[in-house]
Amino acid sequence: MTSSSSPPKNKTSPKRNETDEIGVPIIDISQADESKLIVQIAEACSSWGFFQITSHGIPTQLLQDFKAQMEVFFDLP
């Protein structure tokens, strides 16, 4: 499988402030304009099917622990 910097075929890029290295939308949920946030999420979902959120307030240690447990799970036979 190859990675691409464009959305899946027949999809348009959502209007957004930021993307990761392959173009997946990154949405800052701390922004004050709730209607803009809703539009960004809807566009990301319709064009990519997923997105990354920032400013969610989840502690870094919890995210690291979660990732470690995912790796343990997916390494199971």
Mean pLDDT by 10 residues, the chain (77 residues): 45 53 88 92 93 93 96 96
- What was the pLDDT predicted at 2? 44
- What was the pLDDT predicted at 73? 97
- What was the pLDDT predicted at 44? 94
What is this structure's pTM? 0.58
- What was the pLDDT predicted at 31? 85
Query: Backbone phi, then psi, for 64, in 5-degree steps?
Result: -65, -40
Cα separations (Å) of 60 from 12, 26, 65, 73?
32, 17, 9, 20
